[in-house]
Copies of this chain bind each other. A is one copy, B any other.
Amino acid sequence: MPFTAPVAEQRFVLDHVARVGDLGVDGDVLDAVLEGAGEFAAGSWAPLDRVGDTVGARWTETGVIMPDGFRDAYQAYVAGGWGTIGSPEAYGGQGMPFVLAAAVLETLGAANMGFALLPTLTVGAIEALLHHGSPEQQATYLPKLATGEWSGTMNLTEPQAGSDVGALRTRATPRGDGTFLIEGTKIYISFGDHDLADNIVHLVLARTPDAPPGTRGLSLFLVPKFRLNADGSPGEANDIRVVSIEHKMGLHASPTCVLSFGDNGDCTGELIGPEFGGIRAMFTMMNNARLNVGLQGVQVAEAATQRALAYAAGRVQGARNGADVAIVEHPDVRRMLLRMRAQTMAARALVYLAAAEVDRAAAGDADARARLDLLTPLAKAHGTDLGNEVASLGIQVHGGMGYVEETGAAQHFRDARITPIYEGTNGIQAADLVGRKLALDNGGAFARLIAEMREEAAAAPLRDLIDAVDESGRALLRADSDDRLAASYPFLTMCSVAVCGWLMEREGRIAASGNTPFLRLKAAAARFYVEQIVPEALGLRAAAQAKADVLYQVDAATLAA
């Protein structure tokens, strides 16, 4: 299936949701970037999506090998400057808004989701170094990371430390020369090894000697795959072993590595930021990474929708009003396809809205920073939930053909399923929302969002939903920890749909003034969203206002009775 980047939709959402006009990018430049990225992704990355799944990344004694074609496609990405869009000009980047870089990344990932995880991770490493690296570290590493000549990783998880990051044990021992000896095993390291870039910059959370327990004892280290020569070029290999790669259900183009640091007592790393500044630095790289995982929901939703639309338009089966028709004409298939369209648009609006706040926050807008913090768990969790829903609908539209691997619909479904898990499970996002984000500015960030939505929202069910979110959110601010957490996930979903409904209604209103095919589709999808999806979320009010006692009526042993 030929992939086509949704350029008109991306531009529309950039204009009317992200309001990129305020961010100082010329409209012609926007179009050129979106169209160029679309052409590149469709021509270079999309054709590798299936081999990425069927062959996948392979572990060998000497490192991970990517399938044929990936190296050329990655070099073309580097040469085309697609990695540099959002990086600072001081380090060879183009200095364009984060939200535009996100749109480009969306296009790459819709063409090839597993592959696009590589630049996604590099963005995280760039963020960490930009905010916490020394000038020397920035000068040495950022130009290479900005272009993608070198890639980045995030090394957090250990077997006993998943969602509980504070439990990790990897050790960092000063060597007396300013560097540290790194020793430990990290798991679930996406693109922890590969043969596409000239070096890999591992950012590793570890514990210095006598560090306090828990998260406050963590420090962040830069551990290159190849140590640098005096001229900055990659030299001898560091002491890092790729133990294995995971046998995953999907996302096979992305090698998920177990990395062992310091097997031979000679793994060198350098501290990024202050000692014990690890958790703060981690959140720096993680927050934008969370948005980019929400963006993966958009990617897979877009790809699954395009594939299902193409199939449904070509598959003739059954009759409507007496004539044989393609299945796209049947009401329930049409419902699924319009829902896929609407949910994909909603996810994109939510993620772009948050991504634009990255740019506003970087420009010093404190409200934007708080808004970004509030929206990040919504964008990550709801964006990925929608990616999964849409990918599942994509299988259903294909009928039996969706369950056989040849159509590619199943791959989207398998690929999508990791996104509600990594970068903080969606349950962790919900906990973050009710535990930290609601309380920002004493509830002020949440209240401002509610007020802004209320001012614009017109449809009755949308206004009802906003009221329900407001009422539930204020109750959660006063609730005890168990009650807050018990209601967190339904509240997160309800809150996300309210934001999406607010944005979709706005988009529909603007689209109604035009008459291109895209604008008519947008208006139709917006109406469907407000009339059918918004009321569904109202059904979550009971759960979002329930207490924890319903969950603890029986103890854990009885739950397994």
Contact = CB atoms under 8 A, between A and B. Distances in A.
A545 to B, nearest CB: 10
Interface of A is mostly: helix
Given A331-B486, A414-B414, 19 more contacts: A162-B400, A246-B403, A249-B414, A256-B404, A309-B559, A326-B556, A331-B488, A332-B431, A332-B486, A332-B489, A336-B427, A396-B425, A410-B417, A490-B532, A517-B557, A527-B553, A528-B550, A532-B543, A538-B538
A333 B489 CA distance: 10
A326 B560 CA distance: 13
Given A331-B548, A332-B489, A521-B561, A413 B403 contact: no
Nearest to A404: B246
Interface in A322-340: 326, 328-338
Given A539-B540, A553-B523, A247 B560 contact: no
A426 B400 CA distance: 12
Nearest to A536: B539
Interface stretch (A272-280, A284-292, A310-318, A344-352): A310-318
A399 interface: yes
Interface in A516-561: 517-518, 520-521, 523-524, 527-528, 531-532, 535-543, 546, 548, 550-554, 556-561
19 contacts: A188-B400, A248-B405, A249-B404, A249-B410, A250-B403, A313-B556, A331-B486, A331-B488, A399-B421, A413-B417, A517-B557, A518-B561, A520-B558, A523-B553, A524-B554, A527-B553, A528-B550, A532-B550, A536-B539
A341 interface: yes
Interface in A214-249: 246-249
Report, nearest first, the 8 A-B pairs whose CB atoms are least far apart. A539-B539, A331-B485, A517-B561, A535-B542, A524-B553, A536-B539, A249-B410, A332-B427
A430 interface: yes
Given A248-B405, A540-B536, A540-B539, A396 B420 contact: yes
A461 interface: yes
Interface in A417-442: 417-418, 420-422, 425-427, 430-431
A153 interface: no
Interface of A: 157, 162-164, 167, 187-188, 246-250, 256, 309-310, 312-313, 317-320, 326, 328-338, 341, 388, 392, 395-396, 399-400, 402-406, 410, 413-414, 417-418, 420-422, 425-427, 430-431, 461, 482, 485-486, 488-490, 517-518, 520-521, 523-524, 527-528, 531-532, 535-543, 546, 548, 550-554, 556-561
